[in-house]
Amino acid sequence: MTSLSARFCRHHGDCGGCGNCACEKPQDALFDRMVRFVNDLRAQGMTIGMRETEDMLRALHLVGFEDRDAVRAAMRAILAGTRREQETFDKLFALYFVSAEEFEANRRAMAKARAAMEQRRRELEETLTVDGKPIEFRDDLKDVYARMPQSERDRLRDIADKFSEKMEHAPKLYEGFIRSVFMKSLLEQQMVLEDAAEGAMQQDSDADMMFRDISNFRDSEIPRAYQLIDQVTRRINGAIVARRRAAGRSAALDFKRTIRAGLSTGGALCSLRYKKRHSRRKRVVMLCDVSASMMQFSEFAIRFIKSLSEVSDHSVIFLFSEQVQRVNPFALQDMSLFAGYVRSSGVWGRGTNIGRALEAVLAANPPVLGPGTVLIVLSDAKSVDLNRAEAALVKASRQAGSVVWMNPIPEAKWQYLKGVTRLRPHCSMVPCGTLDALARACARLV
Amino acid sequence: MRDALNALKAKLNGENYIADDALAATLYIAMQLNRPLLIEGAAGVGKTEVAKAAARAFERPLVRLQCYEGLDESKALYEWNYQKQLLSIQMNRDGGQRVEDLFGEEYLLERPLLKSIRSEEPVVLLIDEIDKADAEFEAFLLELLSEMQVTIPEYGTVVAHSVPFIVLTSNHTRPLSEALRRRCAYLYLEYPDVEREIKILRAKRPGLSEALATQVARAVAYLRQSEAVTKKPSVAEALDWAMALQALGADELDDESLTQTLGFALKNNDDIREIMSDDEFIRAIL
């Protein structure tokens, strides 16, 4: 059991500055910290009203400050309303409320680490000297040297030792050489450290995967992405069903059925019957760009759309790059075979011709577009022959009920893309670069 | 505080519910603040069981409202006994009956929500799988959750005689409204770790040997983290599996008993096939 109170007040923050505590006004310090903590949670997007804050303080009054875990559980129960909010809460809590023991341990560990870093920086200056003067490196590179693994530092020192004699004979020549060897190693190491930091952030949580650019997913993350898609579509379907039910239920009495039911009770209307509205599933035509850079995105989008319960089973899918191919519906029943299917289709991995693809959709016989269909284009809008693409898109938007363009490129970059500026006015283009954006776009479809 | 939490955990343990510190603290706070408790988590982690165990532990009656699509006030709160009203009108055709009389106590049918707030002794009200109900019903619940009262248009406002402890559960099949979440204390239940699962298995299946309980707990822990398994086994399924093994008289998991009983933990043929060909699985159990 760890105590929070030691850092603030030995009297559980109730003394109001009694003079017996190490701190002058412990209650104020704690209160101030709580207020800043709640404000930071709000800044992270959590909705915390006065009532929650008040309840949190009541909860703290109940649990006291003796047990850090209990304090965390109590505050979290009141302030965090979803699992994602719980994760945000935990991260901030760890930063704000350190136990006295942890605080002391951290302080000691940091002091030790700082001393070690300083020692290694000095080591760099002492190892690399020309005429008794250290070779100059930027401060950030000195830090990189200090953070390097021991083996890497030993390797660099060996190189310096090997050339130390030659350095005395031709200092200018060898100074440049050694400096370049060191710089290369240090910059490489800097990159490794940055990647490691990024990797640590990326592995953080599912939430992070939902908000990361799909094109940056590593191969090892793809199965997890599929699971996330399943979870999210389950949620979307739940919301859609609830919405459809609400819209389908009508308060209007069905007089005909009520009177008919009343005949069995001698005309007394014992059982009231209400009118119901029938729901109609949407028919979707998907045009999927499967050029090499787009296949992953198209697969994710198809998985999303196919899982939506409001989408008709009779929906049609076309794959395109320079050529177009209508997908055999049986081939995509098992989405785990999608990548193999696309690779063997002959369409995969070529350039992009959106105009030709749209023309093929328009020319399909029997026609696939109609007032009741939604045409979904999954593409980054980078295409040859934009005039042809624009003309075909105008025609398609007249024939289809609506045209939705799901674009994996972030909206901020659209202004620099010629294809987007030409095609966007003729359809409803939505940015779908992350799983979260893709899920939101799919939810809006139905 | 620590004493209070330990006492609560002991009470729940006494009802065969093995609670961890976070659960005990959240439950304690929610009860002390009279705040409804919203519990989320995967299917079968024991969300409903929290309410049942709390009711038993605090010797309160449990009133359960199972939510489903289309659930409305008439099924959840109250309903006028329409047939009885109709009969009354027909019997009093000659007059002498006022319209107001038809909306009195006599014709009011209590449903779980009304029953829980009109109860003289405080109850535990379990609103199970709230995510399956419609958004309208959620909005209707807000008055009850924040004010502990409900309004019946023809009858008036009914204020709670005693404050029920309300537990809402959700499998997160649709997002719940921000308004509902704000009114509740929140708890996310994870699958139990191996140690806790062993305790649960032994508490719920008293005759189960420690060795077998350990093997079952390790096996389900492996199945839950395996990406090859699409339908993760719940605590209830782990209990069923243990019971099946007990019924077979197995002292430990071996090839034969595994083949015969794995269907109690995994409910999908592809999952079973994948796991049976996974050598890591056998190593994890042993």
What digits encode the pLDDT tens for the residues A363-384? 988 888 888 888 889 888 888 8
Looking at the fold, whether B159 and B205 belong to one and the same domain comes out as no
Q: Which domain holds residue B66?
A: 2-71+116-189
Q: What is the ipTM of this complex?
A: 0.75
Q: How far apart are CA A164 and CA A132, in angstroms?
A: 12
Q: Is residue B76 part of a domain?
A: no
For A:70-99, CB contacts with B below 8 A are: 70, 73-74, 76-78, 80-83, 85-86
Same domain (yes/no): B179, B213: no
- Please state the domain count of chain B: 2
* Residue A49 touches chain B, beta carbons under 8 Å: yes
What's the pLDDT at A1? 45
Q: Which residues of B touch A62 (CB under 8 A)?
A: 1, 28-29, 32-33
Closest Cα in chain A, distance from residue B205 (Å): 30
Q: Are residues B19 and B154 in the same domain?
A: yes
In a domain, B111, yes or no: no
pLDDT in tens, A254-310: 888 888 888 888 787 878 888 776 656 677 888 888 887 787 788 888 877 777 765
B241 and B177 inside one domain: no
Which range, of A173-187, B30-44, B153-167, B177-191, averages the lowest pLDDT? A173-187
- Do B169 and B243 lie in a common domain? no
What is the domain partition of chain A in residue ranges?
A: 5-98, 102-202, 283-445
In a domain, B104, yes or no: no
Distance of residue B174 Cα from the nearest chain A Cα, in angstroms: 5
CA–centroid distance for B208 within its chain:
25
Q: Do B135 and A238 touch (CB under 8 A)?
A: no
Measured between beta carbons, the chain A residues lying within 8 angstroms of B83 are 270
Residues B175, B123 share a domain: yes
- The confidence band for A11, taking pLDDT boundaries of 50, 70 and 90, is very low
Domain-located, residue B174: yes
Q: What is the pLDDT of residues A295-350, one digit of tens each?
A: 778 888 887 777 776 566 567 888 888 888 888 766 666 677 777 777 777 777 77
Enumerate residues 75 to 104 of chain B having a beta carbon within 8 A of any beta carbon in chain A: 82-83, 86, 90
Which residue among B189, B222, B247 closes a domain?
A: B189
Cα dihedral sign, A330-A334-A335-A340: negative
Band the pLDDT of B132: cuts 50, 70, 90: confident
Nearest by CB to B69, which of A66, A86, A245?
A245
Q: Is the pLDDT of residue B118 over 70?
A: yes
Is some CB atom of chain B closer than 8 A to the CB atom of A238? yes
pLDDT given at position A13: 42
B45 and B124 within one domain: yes
Per-residue pLDDT, B256: 84
CATH for the stretch A283-445: 3.40.50.410
pLDDT band at A51 (very low <50, low <70, confident <90, very high): confident
Give me the pLDDT at residue A70, please.
85
pLDDT surpassing 70 at residue B93: yes
Shared domain for B141 and B247, answered yes or no, is no
* CATH code, domain carrying B162: 3.40.50.300
For the ranges A75-79, A198-202, A442-446, the maximum mean pLDDT occurs at A75-79
| Gap from B250 CA to chain A (nearest CA, Å) | 35
Q: Which has the minimum average pLDDT: A8-17, A182-191, A205-214?
A: A8-17
For residue B100, is it within any domain? no
Neighboring chain A residues of B3 at a CB cutoff of 8 Å: none
**In this structure, are B136 and B41 located in the same domain?**
yes
pLDDT given for residue B31 in this prediction: 92
Task: Enumerate the residues of chain A whose CB falls inside 8 A of the CB of residue B184.
Answer: 81
**What confidence tier does A201 reach under pLDDT thresholds 50, 70, 90?**
very low
DSSP string for B239-278: HHHHHHHHHHT-SS--HHHHHHHGGGT---HHHHHHHHT-
- Answer whether residue B251 is part of any domain: yes
The residue out of B189, B217, B244 marking a domain boundary is B189
Q: What pLDDT is stored for residue B115 in this prediction?
A: 92
**Which residue is closest to B70 within chain A, CA to CA?**
A245
Beta carbons of A47 and B40 less than 8 Å apart: no
Digit-coded pLDDT (tens) for A117-158: 888 888 777 776 766 677 777 777 777 788 777 887 888 778
**B224-242 confidence digits (pLDDT tens):** 888 778 788 999 899 999 9
Chain B CB within 8 Å of residue A108 CB: no
| B228 and B252 part of one domain | yes
What is residue B66's predicted lDDT score, i.e. its pLDDT?
94
| A228 within 8 A of A435, measured Cβ to Cβ | yes
**Domain edge (last residue) among B157, B189, B221:** B189
Q: What is the pTM of this model?
A: 0.60
Determine, yes or no, domain membership for B211: yes
For residue A290 the two structure tokens come to 């499967």
Q: On the CB side of A56, how many CA atoms lie within 13 Å of its CA?
A: 22
Does residue B83 fall inside a structural domain? no
Give the residue from B222, B220, B245, B247 showing the smallest Cα distance to B234. B220
B184 and B274 both lie in a single domain: no
Residues B50 and B151 placed together within one structural domain of the fold = yes
